[in-house]
């Protein structure tokens, strides 16, 4: 029974340390239950031994311990006070040593650190690399926005690129066994099952992403830390150079078709067509599979001697059948689209071709080689 009390006291001392120490309590969350018990017991044993070196001289001064040099060590041990006395005394001395150590360690670790800055505190406390990335993504200042962006690859092959919502209690919840956190995506997609390439399928960006971060918080998803396979800090421009742009552009074309956005298609022969996509592009898996684009034509313009002229105009006010044209996709030079399709060209006033062209301010594809 005495041995059981001793073992339990060692575990309790270790548990108190790993629960109160700001660094160790985060590293302990990665351990299994058995590993936590063993680590707590080893630490508790170390503190208990140190306390013995303090209490035994104290016992000697009180004449609770008498060393007889005429007998061997084992016989002297038999003359020690009752186990319960030694155990209780050492237990409280161990607790005193423990609290003093934790206080000294706390002030030493966080010397010169702004304790109101969560990022600085967690930068010292966190040991898991994924947690460190989550910390930077959530708590770095807004002026370091590019450093907040991370890419998370999940166990279901999905990929999310964005930043972690700055929830102040995120790591405390992780310590309590919860794994969910809020993520604000800028892009999302998946990894190709064979090549593991990152394929972007959805773009959540606003026009002025860095200047209006609050606006981008409207897109939020709940992710589980347990399902994260890999995490890395990313630069958006560099990332898009390594992702499959064909599939990203294809998914954007499908989205434009589904939302019925008007498009401006410039051909290599300097013909420009404005209308709506009719072809169901969802049947294709890659851009290279597309041969023709079927367009519900509204305008046909052409460059003549570097001057844009309106060649053909379909009047919305006339209730007749639509005009369709099939464009050779290999001859397409660029595709622009407009997300706010108010039909200003419905007016009966004279149409200005340059004004009409400039209405399309979102570039989807550009094969011309121009930036």
Contact between 87 and 2 (Cβ < 8 Å): yes
Is a pLDDT exceeding 70 seen at residue 21?
yes
> Are 222 and 302 part of one and the same domain?
no
Q: Which of 34-38, 82-86, 334-338 has the lowest mean pLDDT?
A: 82-86
> Are 266 and 216 part of one and the same domain?
no
Is a pLDDT exceeding 70 seen at residue 207?
no
Residues 6 or more apart whose CB falls under 8 angstroms from that of 150 comprise 133, 134, 136, 137, 161, 162, 163, 164, 231, 232, 233, 234
pLDDT digits (tens, 9 = 90+) for 289-302: 788 889 988 888 88
The mean pLDDT value for 9-19 works out to: 84
DSSP reduced 3-state for 288: helix
Burial degree of 4 (CB within 10 A; 0-12, 13-18, 19+): exposed
Other Cβ atoms within 10 Å of 38 Cβ, number: 14
Does 21 fall in a domain?
yes
Is a pLDDT exceeding 50 seen at residue 317?
no
| Residue 67 tokens, joined | 């060393």
> Are 238 and 149 part of one and the same domain?
yes
> Are 235 and 266 part of one and the same domain?
no
Q: Which of 197-201, 238-242, 308-312 has the lowest mean pLDDT?
A: 238-242
Does 124 fall in a domain?
no
> Are 214 and 292 part of one and the same domain?
no
Distances (CA, A) of 179 to 173, 224, 233, 364: 7, 5, 20, 37
Q: Where are the alpha helices (DSSP H) in 21-69?
A: 24-28, 33-61
> Are 292 and 331 part of one and the same domain?
yes
> Are 46 and 13 part of one and the same domain?
yes
Is a pLDDT exceeding 70 seen at residue 158?
yes
Calpha distance 365→371 (Å, rounded):
11
The mean pLDDT value for 39-60 works out to: 83
CA 129 from centroid of its chain's CA atoms:
12
Does 264 fall in a domain?
yes
pLDDT (0 to 100) of residue 223: 92
Question: DSSP assignment of 180-239, as one string?
Answer: EEEEEEEEEEEE-TTT--EEEEEE---TTTTT-TGGGGGS-EEEEGGGEEEEEE--HHHH
pLDDT (0 to 100) of residue 319: 47
The pLDDT confidence band at residue 83, using thresholds 50, 70 and 90, is: low
Contact between 338 and 362 (Cβ < 8 Å): yes
The mean pLDDT value for 81-88 works out to: 67
pLDDT digits (tens, 9 = 90+) for 135-152: 888 877 666 677 788 899
Is a pLDDT exceeding 50 seen at residue 288?
yes
Burial degree of 349 (CB within 10 A; 0-12, 13-18, 19+): exposed
Is a pLDDT exceeding 70 seen at residue 116?
no
pLDDT (0 to 100) of residue 333: 85
pLDDT digits (tens, 9 = 90+) for 324-354: 889 998 888 888 888 765 555 544 556 667 7
pLDDT (0 to 100) of residue 371: 39
Residue with more model confidence, 368 or 255: 255
Find tokens 């989205």 and name the residue. 255
Contact between 57 and 41 (Cβ < 8 Å): no
Does 371 fall in a domain?
no
The mean pLDDT value for 162-174 works out to: 81
Domain around 17: 2-109
> Are 230 and 279 part of one and the same domain?
no
Calpha distance 320→345 (Å, rounded):
17
> Are 358 and 286 part of one and the same domain?
yes
- For the entire predicted model, the pTM comes to 0.52
Calpha distance 144→148 (Å, rounded):
7
Highest average pLDDT, of 86-100, 142-156, 208-222, 300-314, comes from: 86-100
The CATH number of residue 232's host domain is: 2.30.30.100
pLDDT digits (tens, 9 = 90+) for 220-244: 899 998 899 999 888 766 665 555 4
Mean pLDDT across the chain, nearest whole number? 75
The tally of domains found in the chain comes to 3
pLDDT (0 to 100) of residue 154: 92
Calpha distance 67→59 (Å, rounded):
11
The two most distant CA atoms of the chain are separated, in Å, by 122
> Are 301 and 230 part of one and the same domain?
no
Calpha distance 327→343 (Å, rounded):
23
Q: How many residues does the chain have?
A: 371
Domain's final residue, options 90, 109, 128: 109
pLDDT (0 to 100) of residue 67: 56
Is a pLDDT exceeding 60 seen at residue 210?
no
- Tell me the Ramachandran region of residue 175: left when phi exceeds 0, alpha when psi lies from -120 to 50, beta otherwise: alpha
Kindly give the interhelix angle for 83-109 and 33-61, rounded to the nearest 10 degrees: 110
> Are 7 and 105 part of one and the same domain?
yes
pLDDT (0 to 100) of residue 153: 92
> Are 273 and 352 part of one and the same domain?
yes
Strands (E), the chain: 150-154, 158-164, 180-191, 198-203, 221-224, 228-233, 262-267, 271-277, 292-304, 307-313, 323-328, 332-337, 362-366
Highest average pLDDT, of 73-82, 243-252, 279-288, comes from: 279-288
Is a pLDDT exceeding 70 seen at residue 313?
no
Burial degree of 193 (CB within 10 A; 0-12, 13-18, 19+): exposed
């Amino acid at each position: 029974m005495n041995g059981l009390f001793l073992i339990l006291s060692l575990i309790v001392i270790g548990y108190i340390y790993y629960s109160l120490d700001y660094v160790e309590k985060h590293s302990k969350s990665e351990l299994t239950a058995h590993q936590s018990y063993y680590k707590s017991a080893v630490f508790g044993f170390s503190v208990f031994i140190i306390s013995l070196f303090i209490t035994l001289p104290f016992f000697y001064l009180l004449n609770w311990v008498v060393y007889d040099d005429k007998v061997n060590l084992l016989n002297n041990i038999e003359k020690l006070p009752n186990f319960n006395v030694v155990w209780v005394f050492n237990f409280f001395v161990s607790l005193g040593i423990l609290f003093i150590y934790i206080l000294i360690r706390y002030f030493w670790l966080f010397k010169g650190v702004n304790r109101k800055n969560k990022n600085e505190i967690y930068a010292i406390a966190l040991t898991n690399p994924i947690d460190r990335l989550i910390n930077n993504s959530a708590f770095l200042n807004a002026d370091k926005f590019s450093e907040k962006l991370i890419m998370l690859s999940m166990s279901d092959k999905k990929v999310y690129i964005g930043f972690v919502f700055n929830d102040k209690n995120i790591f405390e919840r992780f310590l309590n066994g919860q794994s969910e956190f809020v993520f604000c995506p800028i892009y999302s997609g998946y990894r190709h099952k064979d090549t593991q390439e990152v394929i972007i399928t959805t773009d959540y960006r606003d026009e002025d992403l860095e200047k209006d971060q609050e606006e981008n918080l409207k897109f939020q998803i709940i992710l589980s830390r347990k399902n994260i396979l890999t995490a890395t800090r990313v630069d958006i421009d560099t990332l898009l150079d390594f992702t499959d742009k064909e599939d990203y552009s294809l998914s954007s074309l499908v989205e434009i078709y589904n939302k019925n956005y008007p498009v401006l298609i410039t051909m290599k022969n300097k013909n420009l067509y404005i209308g709506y996509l009719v072809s169901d592009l969802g049947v294709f898996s890659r851009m290279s599979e597309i041969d023709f684009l079927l367009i519900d034509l509204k305008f046909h313009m052409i460059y003549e001697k570097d001057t844009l002229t309106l060649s053909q105009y379909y009047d919305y006010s006339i209730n007749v059948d639509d005009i369709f044209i099939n464009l050779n996709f290999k001859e397409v030079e660029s595709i622009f689209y407009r997300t706010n399709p108010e039909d200003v060209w419905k007016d009966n006033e004279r149409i200005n071709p340059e004004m009409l062209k400039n209405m399309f301010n979102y570039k989807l594809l550009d094969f011309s080689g121009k930036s």
